[in-house]
Amino acid sequence: MSLSRPYRVALNGYGRIGRCVLRALHERRGRGGLEVVALNDLADLASLEYLTRFDSTHGRFPGQVHQVDGGLSIDGRCLTVMRSATPEGVDWASLELDLVMECSGAWHTRADGERFLAAGAPRVLFSQPMASESDVDATVVYGINQHHLSGSERLVSNASCTTNCAVPLLRLLDAAFGIEYASITTIHSAMNDQPVIDAYHHEDLRRTRSAFQSVIPVSTGLARGIERLLPELAGRIQAKAVRVPTVNVSCLDITLQTARDTDAREVNRVLCEAAAGGPLQGLLAYTELPHASCDFNHDPHSAIVDASQTRVSGPRLVNLLAWFDNEWGFANRMLDVANHFLGIATTKNEHA
Ligand SMILES: NC(=O)c1ccc[n+]([C@@H]2O[C@H](COP(=O)([O-])OP(=O)(O)OC[C@H]3O[C@@H](n4cnc5c(N)ncnc54)[C@H](OP(=O)(O)O)[C@@H]3O)[C@@H](O)[C@H]2O)c1
């Protein structure tokens, strides 16, 4: 970090990801290098305070949360709270920010991002992959390509939770065995874009169905997202996704046709070694224990390889399972990317 003060960050959208970002930073206890100074959401202050304090998935907030003068106090530090549905409804410039983290999911295009910049946000980090690659200056999967950032970008995407899980694994396995083709199924916990019981949805008939009564196939941009990060695999990946009736933690079921013969022991050895050291340490984990998904609630890794589920059929058809906390792992990557991005951006400005 190049500034003597923490980087000043605002959250636009304070739902599952926005709240996890704030809390993950709090749980890093000063090791974050960032300070959330403001948030903007459509909800009233009492609800924002309440859902910060009490979280059905991650438990009670480990600190003091109060309403103060129309804002939110977290362990005595005051956050400005705003309630605007549009980027220009907030005077971002007056907050003297280094970054807005866009966590509402309401904005998808470069034109949307530019509305934040025009309203005084110096840079925006999106908590989702954008509609097309040209909608941002860079899409980052931490551990893979953050070093490609130059510091001059203003609109950056943190990709998706599934991309953050898949890309490190695919890059490792491609380097070790060569990937000829891959087919990936995301088995994802329910999200707030699904109703609790059947209700109308204007775009997607499947999303009219109760999240807690069915396994529901949904569309996914995972294959496209992987190809943005690993263009050498373009045209060789297919993906599908199902939502399942759990509240958090998801997994990827990955099937690969490899270019050379291998076996489950060798595949697991490659993944185990990558988790133990090197650039993916702290991002990739490896376990041989008999787990269920809830064991990974509040786990900050991008991917946890479940070695007990690795299968190799014939010498070249590899199948593996990797867990990820779709909320907590991704929120931690938002912080990692923000820190890295702001580090080089502010160094660049100082030397300009
Ligand atoms: N949840 C995950 O596991 C996960 C993982 C990775 C990435 N993401 C991505 O992160 C984004 C947010 O997902 P989420 O799960 O956190 O959704 P969420 O829980 O629904 O949170 C979104 C929040 O933003 C608010 N909001 C909606 N429109 C807004 C606007 N125009 N301005 C300000 N706030 C607005 C929402 O308010 P209302 O509820 O009143 O609409 C809600 O409080 C999505 O793009 C999602 O794809 C989610």
Indicate the length of the chain as a whole number: 352
Tokens representing 91 are 């005077």
Residue ID of nearest Cα to ligand 1 atom 11: 105
Which is more confident, 204 or 105?
Answer: 105
Is the CB of 158 inside a 6 Å radius of any atom of ligand 1? Answer: no
Would you place residue 29 in the very low, low, confident or very high pLDDT band (cuts 50, 70, 90)?
Answer: confident
Alpha-helical segments (H) within 75-109: none
* Fold of the domain spanning 162-326: Dihydrodipicolinate Reductase; domain 2 (3.30.360)
- Condensed to tens digits (0 to 9), the pLDDT of residues 38-70 reads 999 999 999 999 999 999 999 999 999 999 999
Is the CB of 129 inside a 6 Å radius of any atom of ligand 1? Answer: no
Is the CB of 191 inside a 6 Å radius of any atom of ligand 1? Answer: yes
Q: What is the dihedral of CA 68, 69, 71, 72, to 10 degrees?
A: 0
Q: Does 351 score more than 90 pLDDT?
A: no
How close is the Cα of 239 to the center of ligand 1, in Å? Answer: 23
For the segment 301-316, the average pLDDT, to the nearest whole number, is 98
Which atom of ligand 1 is nearest to 193's Cα? 20
Q: What pLDDT was estimated at residue 43?
A: 98
How close is the Cα of 165 to the center of ligand 1, in Å? Answer: 20
SS3 track for the chain:
CCCCCCEEEEEECCCHHHHHHHHHHHHCCCCCCEEEEEEECCCCHHHHHHHHHCCCCCCCCCCCEEEECCEEEECCEEEEEECCCCHHHCCHHHHCCCEEEECCCCCCCHHHHHHHHHCCCCCEEECCCCCCHHHCCEECCCCCCHHHCCCCCCEEECCCHHHHHHHHHHHHHHHHHCEEEEEEEEEEECCCCCCCCCCCCCCCHHHHCCCCCCCEEECCCHHHHHHHHCHHHCCCEEEEEEEECCCCCEEEEEEEEECCCCCHHHHHHHHHHHHHCCCCECCEEEECCCCCHHHHCCCCCCEEEEHHHCEEECCCEEEEEEEECCCHHHHHHHHHHHHHHHHHHHHHHHHC
Is the CB of 320 inside a 6 Å radius of any atom of ligand 1? Answer: no
Q: Does 221 score more than 60 pLDDT?
A: yes
* Fold of the domain spanning 7-136: Rossmann fold (3.40.50)
Residues of the chain with CATH 3.40.50.720: 7-136
For the segment 106-126, the average pLDDT, to the nearest whole number, is 98
For the segment 164-185, the average pLDDT, to the nearest whole number, is 98
143 touches 170 (CB < 8 A): no
Is the CB of 15 inside a 6 Å radius of any atom of ligand 1? Answer: yes
How close is the Cα of 347 to the center of ligand 1, in Å? Answer: 31
Would you place residue 32 in the very low, low, confident or very high pLDDT band (cuts 50, 70, 90)?
Answer: low
CA distances from 88 to 64, 92, 112 (A): 31, 8, 11
Q: What pLDDT was estimated at residue 215?
A: 98
Q: What pLDDT was estimated at residue 202?
A: 83
Question: By mean pLDDT, which of 29-43, 107-121, 274-288, 307-321 is the weakest?
Answer: 29-43
Which atom of ligand 1 is nearest to 105's Cα? 45
Is the CB of 162 inside a 6 Å radius of any atom of ligand 1? Answer: no
Q: What pLDDT was estimated at residue 307?
A: 98
Is the CB of 326 inside a 6 Å radius of any atom of ligand 1? Answer: yes
How close is the Cα of 142 to the center of ligand 1, in Å? Answer: 21
How close is the Cα of 102 to the center of ligand 1, in Å? Answer: 9
Which atom of ligand 1 is nearest to 248's Cα? 3
Which atom of ligand 1 is nearest to 12's Cα? 33
SS3 254: strand
- Condensed to tens digits (0 to 9), the pLDDT of residues 311-337 reads 999 999 999 999 999 999 999 999 999
Residues with catalytic roles: 161
Mutation choice for ligand 1 from 42, 90, 104, CB with most ligand atoms inside 8 A: 104
How close is the Cα of 18 to the center of ligand 1, in Å? Answer: 7
Residue ID of nearest Cα to ligand 1 atom 47: 128
Residues of the chain with CATH 3.30.360.10: 162-326
